[in-house]
Amino acid sequence: MTIHFSTAGEGPELDTKDAIVTVKASAADTGGYELFEVDASRGPAVPPHADPWAKGFYVLHGRITVCLDGELHDLGPGAFVHIPAGIPNTFTVHTPHAKFLVLTPDDAMGEFFREIDRSVPANALWPAAVPLLGDIAARHGVTFGELVP
């Protein structure tokens, strides 16, 4: 395996419709895990959903509330939350922007993000883009549902 180095502002950018996701390290770079830098605007993100992969959020700046299985967690700079695979979750940004890191154990989330970026038209604005995500989500094992905070 080779050493992978990513400087500030470097990495492929993916438009996931609710955020701009910069790939800081892909599974191919690390031999396994992936690291993303997420820049999300104020407001709710993806509807409540469950992913078949685990993920961890580490907030760099801004404030977000993460809803996990109906329980709210307020996260500011320096806060971390681990989200196990299969747990219903979503997040809301409370500041004009929030930037946070997302760490996943393999390439599943990255493949999902890459397909959204490739397949959903650039002019599809959030939240109107949500119905366009259904088939993509199904192919990647992501299920949508309700959370009761």
Report all structural domains of the chain as residue ranges with CATH numbers, in order of start: 13-141 (2.60.120.10)
Segments in 17-104 forming alpha helices (H): 27-30
Query: Global pTM?
Result: 0.91
What is the structure's pLDDT at 114? Answer: 95
Rounded Cα gap, residues 57 and 127, in angstroms: 22
User: Is pLDDT of 29 > 80?
Assistant: yes
What is the structure's pLDDT at 146? Answer: 60
Mean pLDDT of the chain: 91
Q: Is 89 exposed, middle or buried (0-12, 13-18, 19+ CB in 10 A)?
A: buried
User: Is pLDDT of 26 > 70?
Assistant: yes
Question: 16, 114 in Cβ contact below 8 A?
Answer: no
